[in-house]
Amino acid sequence: MDLFRCESILLQSFWVMVVIDVFTCSFIGFAVERGDIDGVAVCRMFNCAISKQSLPKYLSTDNDPLFRFHRWLATLRILDIDEIKTVALVPCSHPFVERAIRTVREELLDQVLFWNQLDLERKLSEFLIYYNGYRVHSGIDGITPEERGGSNKPPSLPLNKFCWISHCHGLFKTPVAA
């Protein structure tokens, strides 16, 4: 789990929390908060990001002061989640989430503009569906994160019987059986 900041077309600043599953290389969820954030906002964002999933047993975070806030530590204690801290002052000790953030920035946020928090949340949720279910990953043998997590692999298609479906309002297209 980690945080990054982005700006809207109206130059409003937003913090985005990214929660990923390291085993399947899939996004668990995103949460967005406008303006400055504190420990209470981080707790709210975490609950929002994992609300559609079961609780993790372990959670890896960096050494940001927001993750040492007493309410954050109390939330993890109540939810019975063990926190694993990365090595201080070494950004490459958190490589999976840093790479996931880079992917979100390069493939989505550098390509499309957003107006406000609701628009950003909608675009991130569409990207999550595309990334987990349709985007193949060369690092995990050309399969999607959902397939790695146990979902059925789609059948292979004959080269002359397919059509294209659009994801993220036309930003990405993938083939499906016609």
In this predicted model, what pLDDT tens digit does every residue of 98-135 receive, in sequence order?
A: 999 999 999 999 999 999 999 999 999 999 999 998 88
- What is the DSSP track for 68-122? G-HHHHHHHHHTT-EEEEPPTT-GGGSHHHHHHHHHHIIIIITT----SHHHHHH
Q: Which amino acid is at 125?
A: S
DSSP state of 10: T
pTM of the model: 0.86
Distance CA 168, CA 178 (A): 21
The reported pLDDT for the residue numbered 159 is: 66
